[in-house]
Amino acid sequence: MIFDLLAAPLTGLTWIAEQVHDRVMEEVDQKTVLSRELLNLQMAFDLGAIDEESFEIREEALLLALQAIEEDAENDQN
């Protein structure tokens, strides 16, 4: 019991560090997935698999999603 009381600050810091790590990894994963989708979309357009209108609509959605992730990361830092 005394050990639990003495270790509480360390346990709390460990928990906070894990939460930050999980959040960063989640954002990195989302950015990676969206970036890959954007690359695949560009390749599909370059190969003529999709038309320009479809490309522009999907590209805008992906870029907005990436922008939202970056803005969330900036807001979390402040």
**pLDDT per residue over 29-72, tens digit each?**
888 989 999 999 999 999 999 999 999 999 999 999 999 988 88
C-alpha to C-alpha distance for 30 and 50, rounded to whole angstroms: 24
Bigger pLDDT: 4 vs 16: 16
Residue 17 to residues 4, 5, 20, 43, 66, Cα–Cα distance (Å): 19, 19, 5, 39, 25
C-alpha to C-alpha distance for 31 and 71, rounded to whole angstroms: 12
**Which residues, at least 6 apart from 63, have a Cβ–Cβ distance to it below 8 Å?**
38
User: Is residue 8 very low, low, confident or very high in pLDDT (cuts 50, 70, 90)?
Assistant: low
Q: How many CB atoms lie within 10 A of CB 72?
A: 13
User: Is residue 13 very low, low, confident or very high in pLDDT (cuts 50, 70, 90)?
Assistant: confident
Q: What global pTM score does this model have? A: 0.65
Q: Where are the domains of the chain?
A: 22-77
User: Is residue 26 very low, low, confident or very high in pLDDT (cuts 50, 70, 90)?
Assistant: confident
